[in-house]
């Protein structure tokens, strides 16, 4: 089968990767689209493992087969999937039942393929634990920051989105984000206006920073006892007096929510009772699809690059050479072409 493979820092298309084996409680998904997560994937590509490995963690497609009574999704159903090592840039995916959620007919598979990014965005906001009307400074208007800003605004938070790139700020404004800043001066003026000089309730960092300066700037702009939520690749250094003076909290947002990396939840399919853990990884995925279905957020305008999976090497090379030239990139598989042209969809089993 087709898959996007990384080996010794090089990314290429392989046409002969082995098909995944279906286990009890899993479903076999034929991929139509998979979304690239540039920060995570370029970082992973920098790790020189001894064997080739398949990149990716977020996709959408059609259920081809299920195994076991615990799987409620049906053959032929449209689903969004999230979570490596099960979900990846590959033509066929063997996905545990908690890592796949149904997609309504009117939601595009392209948009739904970003479900992993959506779950990460939602979990980061849950880590902030904000109340209706509270003020959030969101740093970084890449695709994850753009999605997070829309979800936060839909939840009734006051959102200030900050990015130095004017084009990304323009897109955010067009998508309805009310307070968008492209300079530190604008950020400070907006915070003063919206908080009456008190500072933001939380700062959420969706950008990469190797210097630690973003952490200090975030702490400076917090109100007393505010929070900094780290989502991006950050150097975890900061001035102690800034955190101590405000008794600030610094929190890490790990992936898509409770259950992520827990083999009992993901592989074995053992659920977390809703009375104890309201929002799991799978429930965050479903919530993201609900927001798409109800039109509360827009993702299609963020997908600036949709490429056939065979062109994956060129896409990653563009990310490497000019990372700011792409906002959101999605890989398209043969199934997507069949669906668009109305052809009878045939399984890729045996290819």
Judge if 129 and 246 occupy the same domain: yes
Q: What is the pLDDT of residues 27-49, one digit of tens each?
A: 999 999 999 998 888 878 767 77
Q: Please, which pLDDT band fits residue 347 given cuts at 50, 70 and 90?
A: very low
272: in domain = no
Judge if 130 and 109 occupy the same domain: no
The 3-state DSSP class for residue 40 equals helix
Q: How many domains does the chain have?
A: 2
Whole-number Å distance between alpha carbons of 129 and 145? 17
Whole-number Å distance between alpha carbons of 56 and 86? 10
Q: Which residues contact 35 (CB under 8 A, 6 or more apart)?
A: 58, 59, 113, 114, 116, 117, 328, 329, 330, 331
Q: What is the pLDDT of residues 103-128, one digit of tens each?
A: 999 999 999 999 999 999 999 999 99
Average pLDDT, the chain: 92
Q: Are 137 and 114 in contact (CB under 8 A)?
A: no
Structure tokens at 249: 């909290």
Judge if 128 and 106 occupy the same domain: no
Judge if 189 and 134 occupy the same domain: yes
175: in domain = yes
- In this predicted structure, what is the pLDDT of residue 331? 97
Structural domain of 94: 3-114+303-341
268: in domain = no
Whole-number Å distance between alpha carbons of 114 and 154? 18
Compute the average pLDDT of residues 178-203: 97
Distance spanning both ends of the chain, measured CA to CA: 6
Judge if 133 and 85 occupy the same domain: no
Compute the average pLDDT of residues 208-235: 87
Judge if 91 and 128 occupy the same domain: no
Q: Are 239 and 219 in contact (CB under 8 A)?
A: yes
Judge if 70 and 134 occupy the same domain: no
270: in domain = no
Task: Tell me the whole-structure pTM to 2 decimals.
Answer: 0.93
- In this predicted structure, what is the pLDDT of residue 236? 73
Cis peptide before 85 (omega within 30 of 0): yes
Whole-number Å distance between alpha carbons of 313 and 12? 5
Compute the average pLDDT of residues 9-18: 91
Q: Please, which pLDDT band fits residue 350 given cuts at 50, 70 and 90?
A: very low
- Asked if residue 348 has pLDDT above 50, the reply is no
The CATH number that applies at residue 49 is 3.90.180.10
Judge if 135 and 240 occupy the same domain: yes
């Amino acid at each position: 089968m087709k898959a996007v493979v990384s080996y010794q820092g090089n990314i290429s298309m392989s046409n002969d990767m082995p098909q995944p084996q279906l286990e009890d409680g899993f479903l076999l998904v034929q991929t139509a689209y998979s979304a690239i997560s540039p920060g995570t994937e370029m970082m992973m590509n920098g790790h020189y493992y001894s064997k080739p490995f398949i990149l990716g963690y977020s996709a959408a497609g059609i259920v081809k087969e299920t195994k076991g009574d615990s799987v409620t999704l049906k053959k032929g159903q449209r689903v969004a999937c999230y979570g490596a090592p099960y979900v990846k840039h590959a033509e066929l995916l063997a996905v545990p039942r908690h890592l796949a959620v149904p997609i309504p007919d009117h939601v595009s598979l392209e948009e739904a393929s970003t479900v992993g990014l959506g779950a990460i965005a939602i979990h980061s906001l849950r880590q902030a634990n904000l109340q209706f009307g509270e003020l959030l400074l969101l740093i970084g208007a890449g695709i994850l920051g753009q999605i997070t800003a829309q979800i936060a605004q839909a939840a009734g938070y006051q959102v200030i989105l900050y990015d130095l790139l004017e084009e990304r700020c323009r897109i955010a404004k067009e998508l309805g984000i009310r307070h968008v800043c492209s300079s530190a001066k604008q950020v400070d003026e907006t915070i003063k206006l919206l908080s009456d000089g008190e500072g933001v309730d939380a700062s959420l960092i969706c950008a990469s920073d190797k210097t630690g300066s973003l952490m200090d700037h975030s702490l400076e702009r917090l109100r007393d006892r505010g929070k900094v939520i780290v989502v991006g690749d950050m150097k975890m250094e900061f001035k102690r007096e800034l955190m101590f003076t405000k008794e600030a909290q610094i929190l890490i947002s790990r992936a898509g929510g409770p259950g992520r990396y827990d083999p009992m939840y993901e592989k074995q399919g053992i659920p977390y009772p809703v009375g104890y853990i309201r929002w799991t990884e799978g429930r965050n995925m479903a919530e993201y699809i609900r927001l798409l279905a109800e039109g509360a957020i827009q993702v299609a305008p963020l997908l600036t690059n949709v490429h056939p999976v065979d062109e994956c090497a060129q896409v990653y090379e563009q990310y490497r050479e000019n990372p700011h030239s792409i906002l959101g990139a999605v890989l398209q598989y043969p199934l997507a072409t069949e669906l668009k042209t109305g052809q009878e969809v045939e399984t890729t089993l045996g290819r």
